[in-house]
Amino acid sequence: MESIERHALDNILKEEKLLTVNKFLDILSTLDKLGLLDVIQGAINDEELMTKLFSGILNDKALSLLINYKNLGELADLVLNEKTQDKLKFLLELAGTLQHSGVVEPLLGMLKDEDVMGRIISALVNDKTLELMQNWENLLNITLMLTKRETSESLEYFLSFLNELRTSGILDPIRGLLKDEETLGKIISALVNDFTLGLVSNWSDIAKHLSSLDLTGFKGYVDIINAAGKAINDVNYKPIRSVFDILRSLKDPDIQNGLGFLFSVIKELGKMAKEKNAPH
Average pLDDT of the residues of the chain: 77
**pLDDT score at 11:** 63
Q: Out of 23-32, 99-108, 240-249, pick the least confident.
A: 23-32
Higher pLDDT, 44 or 197: 197
Q: What is the pTM of this model?
A: 0.30
Cα gap 78→70, rounded to integer Å: 12
> What distances in angstroms separate CA 36 from CA 47, 53, 56, one per listed residue?
18, 17, 21
Alpha helices in 148-193 (DSSP H): 149-168, 171-179, 181-191
* Integer Cα distance of 40 and 43 in angstroms: 5
Is residue 205 predicted with pLDDT exceeding 80? yes
Q: Is the pLDDT of residue 1 over 60?
A: no
Average pLDDT over residues 30-54: 72
3-state helix, strand, coil in the chain (%, to 5): 85, 0, 15
In this prediction, residue 173 has a pLDDT band, given cuts at 50, 70 and 90, of confident
Residues 2-22, mean pLDDT to the nearest whole number: 65
pLDDT tens track for 132-152? 778 888 888 888 888 888 888
Residue 119 pLDDT level (bands cut at 50, 70, 90) = confident
pLDDT of residue 2: 59
Band of residue 195 on the pLDDT scale cut at 50, 70, 90? confident
**What confidence score (pLDDT) does residue 19 get?**
74
Residue 46 has pLDDT above 80, yes or no: no
Nearest residue to 187 via CA among 171, 196, 200: 196
**How many other CB atoms are found less than 10 A from the CB of residue 186?**
12
Pairwise pLDDT comparison (48 vs 6), residue with the higher score: 48
| pLDDT higher at 160 or 28 | 160
Where residue 280 falls among pLDDT bands split at 50, 70, 90?
Answer: low
Q: Is the pLDDT assigned to residue 234 strictly greater than 60?
A: yes
Domain positions in the chain: 2-114, 127-179, 217-277
Residue 235 has pLDDT above 70, yes or no: no
Under 8 Å CB-to-CB from 141, ≥6 apart: which residues? none
Per-residue model confidence as pLDDT tens digits over 52-68 = 766 666 666 666 665 66
Give the burial class of 31: count Cβ atoms within 10 A of its Cβ; 0-12 exposed, 13-18 middle, 19 or more buried. middle
- What type of residue is 268? E
